[in-house]
Amino acid sequence: MRNDICIYVSPADRARLERLVADRNTSRKAAWRAEIVLATADGLGTMAIMRRTGKSKPAVWRWQERYIEAGVDGLLRDKTRPARKKPLSAEVKLAVLTKTAQERPPGGGTHWSARTMARTVGISHRSVQRIWAEAGLKPHLVTTFKLSNDPKFAEKVTDVVGLYLNPPDKALVFCVDEKSQIQALDRTQPGLPMKKGRAGTMTHDYKRHGTTTLFAALDVKTGAVIGECQPKHRAKEFIRFLRTIDRNTPKSLDVHLIVDNYSTHKTQAVKDWLAKHPRFKLHFIPTSSSWLNQVERFFAEITRKRIRRGVFTSVAQLETAICDYLDAHNADPKPFVWTKSADVILAKVHRARAALDAAKSRNQALESEH
């Protein structure tokens, strides 16, 4: 049978232990550990300490020994315990990462899931998730991209970005485009409002009540938008919108319009109108480069904030909602600030093209091996 332990507690340690016991902010386990040591120093036996603290005999012995080994600091922390399961080896982690990046899952799938990988490697799906998280891999996600094949890509990017970063004097710069085929959609059943613990509801199916096209010109400097709805987006509607811009801008200023390569913007009728209005100058973005036109960002905003969740029983109701949004936007416009220079953009595109060429070469090599 184990004999009672005698412990010498220095005055400094005793003062500290007494403060721990008296302080209401001390954790309960730290307080009773301090009581065990103080009672031992006062000469109490194990049974008396058990009665005072309500702890078991092994607990009393454990914290007496911990104080002897580590002092008061040892009472304030739990001893680290070995993990119940051994950590995964570097070989297993490497196998998961290699299969994720270079192999397809069994059964002809396009990408790995955590559970499929877990069954293949022989570990838990939680372990697979941790390995992917550490490596920054997300096999369930894929992002889309498109590199422009426009032969004048660099020239057009330099031209448009120059308008954003260094606009010409005594001139206005507008980003112009059409958001076509906006549908006036009515839901087949009324939705339920949002409430605590539940999002608002909306039926997945709908009734169509026609379409409209929003022509918009975003002022790069102020963020204000000149916009109007028209039934179609042909050359004559585009010319009609050019007249709208002409009426709403000072005649003394040149007007630079950033537009895409849509054929409507290049017809002979449009060229003839531009020839009669020399203050209008068109700047075309490269093909497959809608990200370069800032008005697309405005279209994303109006879609998210006003159109996507809207319920419209007619085209007129839809157009009224669009006009109301334009009025509210123009009451307090804020411009989109372009920050990337043309050199930065061209360098990034060059790296992307190099990576794409390398991927093509690897795929061709694999096909030749098979």
DSSP letters, 311-326, are --SSHHHHHHHHHHHH
Which segments within the chain are labelled E, that is strand? 171-187, 206-219, 225-230, 254-259, 280-284
pLDDT for 176 equals 96
| Average of per-residue pLDDT across 8-19 | 88
Q: Is the pLDDT of residue 1 over 70?
A: no
pLDDT for 318 equals 95
Distance CA(345)–CA(32), nearest Å, equals 65
Q: 185-213: per-residue pLDDT in tens?
A: 999 998 888 999 889 888 898 899 999 99
Higher local confidence (pLDDT), 370 or 270: 270
Q: Is the pLDDT of residue 364 over 80?
A: no
Q: 296-317: per-residue pLDDT in tens?
A: 999 999 999 999 999 999 999 9
Distance CA(368)–CA(122), nearest Å, equals 33
DSSP letter at 42 equals T
| Average of per-residue pLDDT across 51-74 | 88
Q: How would you label 169-198 residue by residue, b for 16+ Cβ within 10 Å and e otherwise?
A: eeebbbbbbbbeebebbebeeeeeeeeeee
Q: What percent of the chain has pLDDT over 90?
A: 57
pLDDT for 72 equals 87
- Res. 146 pLDDT band, cuts 50 70 90: confident
Distance CA(352)–CA(357), nearest Å, equals 9
Number of C-beta neighbours around residue 161 at 10 A: 19
Long-range contacts, stretch 129-133, CB < 8 angstroms, 24+ apart: 131/88, 131/93, 131/96, 131/97, 132/96, 132/100
| Mean pLDDT score across all residues of the chain | 90
pLDDT for 143 equals 87
| Average of per-residue pLDDT across 90-102 | 91
- Res. 154 pLDDT band, cuts 50 70 90: very high
Name the residue with tokens 């839901």.
187
Q: Is the pLDDT of residue 370 over 60?
A: no
pLDDT for 282 equals 95
Q: Is the pLDDT of residue 73 over 60?
A: yes
Q: Which of 222, 254, 226, 220 is nearest to 240 (CA)?
A: 226
Q: Which of 17, 76, 77, 74 is nearest to 42 (CA)?
A: 17
pTM, entire model:
0.70
